């Protein structure tokens, strides 16, 4: 009996907080069916952001909510698009589809968003290019990126450089890819740029440089908050696989 009480005590405490603060009632059901894991998610998704209010805490909260209900943002974006079929609403659907790895759906939404007067919109060009890269349509992606670059500074950011690097790599233009990866590697937040650059260097025979880059990724990964680490580890694992460490 004492064991049962201790098992459900975190759920009871979190359940009281849910009721008192008027939060979504689905949490109560989660506390019943997952008396250990659900309160842990609630702690990171709700309590930590509430107590600290910092941007890091909000990221942790978003990560926990995403783990609990990965399609929540997509459903919300689809409802918004159905209610108000604007370009902005369609962009949110594309972004939500991309977050779920539904690249064909995301690409289709970006293509529709680019219709008419929005063909030169920088966020649409970038979003469309990224979806095309994921689909292996590198030449089409590069065309979008070159158009973005011609429009001004939006096409010369570190994030744009990373996209250019991926397009060049996919087209076998390795010298241009290396220049773009090098520029992006230390400037794009997170581990994606570093992970992709390490994989590229390993693939093109620069083993020693790739090992140095991999060590830096390992160092940075250890400093990332645990709830955010699984997403970051994807890029560490990409690099490790290219080096034969997976």
Residues 193-221 pLDDT 10s: 999 999 999 999 999 999 999 999 999 99
DSSP 59-76: HHHHHHHHHH-TTHHHHH
HSE (side-chain half, CA atoms, 13 Å) at 5: 2
Residue with tokens 């059901």: 29
- Of 59-63, 68-72, 138-142, the least confident: 59-63
Give the dihedral of Cα atoms 132, 133, 135, 141; nearest 10 deg: 40
Residue 208 lies in a domain: yes
> pTM above 0.85?
no
Q: Are residues 137 and 220 in the same domain?
A: yes
Query: Above 80 in pLDDT, residue 234?
Result: yes
Mean pLDDT to the nearest integer, 57-73? 59
Q: Tell me what percent of the chain is helix, strand and coil, each rounded to the nearest 5.
A: 80, 0, 20
How many other C-beta atoms can be found within 10 angstroms of the C-beta atom of residue 208?
Answer: 9
CA-to-CA separations, 57 to 31, 90, 131, 171, in angstroms, rounded: 22, 28, 29, 40
Tell me, yes or no, whether 92 lies in a domain.
Answer: no
Mean pLDDT, range 133-154, rounded to an integer: 95
Place of tokens 């890091």: 56
Under the banding of pLDDT at 50, 70 and 90, the label for residue 115 is confident
Q: Which two tokens stand for residue 194?
A: 């570093």
Q: Are residues 47 and 127 in the same domain?
A: no
Supply 163's token pair. 């996209």
Q: What pLDDT score was predicted for residue 189?
A: 87
- Is 54 within a domain? yes
In a domain, 134, yes or no: yes
Residue bearing the bigger pLDDT, 194 or 44: 194
pLDDT for the residue 243: 95
- Per-residue pLDDT, averaged over 36-51, amounts to 66
Task: Identify which has the larger pLDDT, 144 or 43.
Answer: 144
Q: What is the mean pLDDT of residues 165-169?
A: 98
pLDDT at 123 over 60: yes
> How many domains in the chain?
2
Q: Are residues 129 and 33 in the same domain?
A: no
């Amino acid at each position: 009996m004492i064991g049962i009480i201790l098992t459900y005590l975190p759920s009871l405490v979190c359940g009281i907080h849910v009721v008192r603060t008027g939060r979504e009632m689905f949490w109560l059901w989660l506390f019943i069916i997952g008396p250990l894991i659900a309160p842990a998610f609630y702690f990171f998704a709700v309590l930590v952001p509430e107590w600290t209010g910092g941007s890091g805490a909000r990221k942790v909260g978003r990560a926990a909510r995403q783990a609990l209900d990965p399609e929540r943002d997509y459903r919300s974006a689809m409802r918004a698009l159905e209610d108000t079929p604007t370009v902005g609403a369609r962009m949110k659907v594309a972004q939500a589809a991309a977050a779920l790895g539904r690249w064909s759906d995301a690409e289709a939404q970006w293509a529709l968003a680019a219709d008419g007067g929005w063909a030169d919109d920088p966020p649409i060009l970038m979003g469309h290019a990224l979806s095309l890269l994921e689909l292996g349509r590198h030449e089409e992606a590069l065309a979008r990126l070159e158009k973005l670059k011609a429009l001004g500074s939006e096409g010369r950011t570190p994030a744009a450089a990373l996209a250019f690097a991926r397009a060049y790599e996919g087209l076998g233009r390795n010298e241009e890819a290396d220049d773009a990866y090098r520029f992006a590697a230390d400037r794009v937040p997170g581990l994606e740029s570093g992970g992709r650059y390490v994989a590229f260097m390993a693939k093109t025979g620069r083993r020693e440089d790739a090992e140095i880059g991999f060590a830096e990724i390992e160092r940075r990964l250890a400093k990332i908050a645990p709830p955010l680490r699984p997403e970051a580890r994807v890029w560490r694992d990409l690099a490790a696989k290219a080096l034969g460490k997976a």
